[in-house]
Amino acid sequence: MVSLTIDGQPVEAGEGDTILDAAEQADIFIPTLCNHPDLPAFGGCRMCLVKVEGMGSYVPACSTPVRDGMAIHSDIEELNRLRRNILELMLSEHPSGCIVCADRELCFEYHRAPSKAGRTTGCRFCPQKDACDLYDIAAYLGIEDIRLPIEYREREVRRDDPFIERDYNLCILCGRCVRVCDEIRGIHAVDFVNRGHETTIGTAFQAPLLDSGCIFCGACIDVCPTGALSERRMKWGGTPERAVVTTCMLCPLGCQVEVAVTRDRIVNVHAAERMGTSQLCVKGRFTLPALMQHHERLTRPMVRDGVLRAASWDDALDATASLLQKYEPHEIGFVVS
């Protein structure tokens, strides 16, 4: 074990842990946008910079390994001022009216209904409004105004794929989607495109995801810290009331899924296990709500009495037993799917 201090608090960490790992284990918050627990360290957003006594410059907490005796400062004004400057640069190209609004808390409390809109112009219209890392960090740093010129990018919202909608006006170029597609899924369907101010995320030759090798596992949506990537069908399904872990029944693999439910309707589906060890296929990730909530889906046993009629399980089992009694055991076969 390695002994160190973070903001004056003694912390024990394992060999090979990063400063960010040690802080999370000690329940010390260090803001970060590009880091994700299922992805290797990237160090791109620079939000997790910390000051280590004896080192001449700030270091990224997500990629700096701990050493015995380290004295680390993560919550000091000089660092938070730097973080605010970095975040303001991001927000100058991001729909940020709600993020810096003084009434945002009251607005979110009394206007909970999802607002259907063709383009996200504020947090109330964003599919990620209840789990936005950008919003949370802006609140943590106390961002109340953007002192830079606002340069909204006005990029076209990509709706040319069956399951995923891409609004790169909300993208902060954290690279999570690129890295999970390449390093976890091994697909490499998307990457950074262009350079400098024109950099964005995209496919080769700006082709639809359908033509780029994407398998529509939804991992990119799961790691996106903003609403840049969202599910087309369930985007406006509402705020989940509860989550239920169950087994996907669409193939024999029996993947564990976490189903988000509102008013007894499925609004979202995710892999129940960590992304590094499990990920869903396109059927389990995107088609379960449509199948489970289809108007022709049977939800009760049906017994044919001239016509099919709804019955209780006891009546259905009694009817099945009476039919089976007419046959010898070797005359009975079952088809199970």
Compute the C-alpha angle 122/125/131, nearest 5°. 90
Residue 276 has pLDDT above 60, yes or no: no
pLDDT value of residue 52: 96
pLDDT in tens, 286-303: 998 888 888 888 888 999
pLDDT in tens, 79-136: 999 999 999 999 999 988 888 888 777 877 776 655 566 677 778 778 888 788 999 9
pLDDT value of residue 112: 60
Backbone φ, ψ for residue 284 (5° rounding): -70, -35
Global pTM reads: 0.85
pLDDT in tens, 166-217: 999 999 999 999 999 999 999 999 999 999 888 999 999 999 999 999 999 9
- Closest to 261 in 3D by CA, of 233, 289, 290, 235: 289
Q: Other CB atoms closer than 10 Å to residue 90's CB: what's the count?
A: 21
pLDDT value of residue 113: 58
Higher pLDDT, 105 or 28: 28
Residue 277 has pLDDT above 60, yes or no: no
Residue 283 has pLDDT above 70, yes or no: yes
Contact yes or no for 36/102 (Cβ under 8 A): no
pLDDT value of residue 278: 63
- Closest to 138 in 3D by CA, of 170, 193, 185, 90: 90
pLDDT value of residue 337: 67
* Residue appearing with tokens 């015995």: 68
Lowest mean pLDDT among 17-21, 52-56, 239-243, 277-281: 277-281
Sign of the Cα torsion 70, 75, 77, 78 reads positive
pLDDT value of residue 268: 87
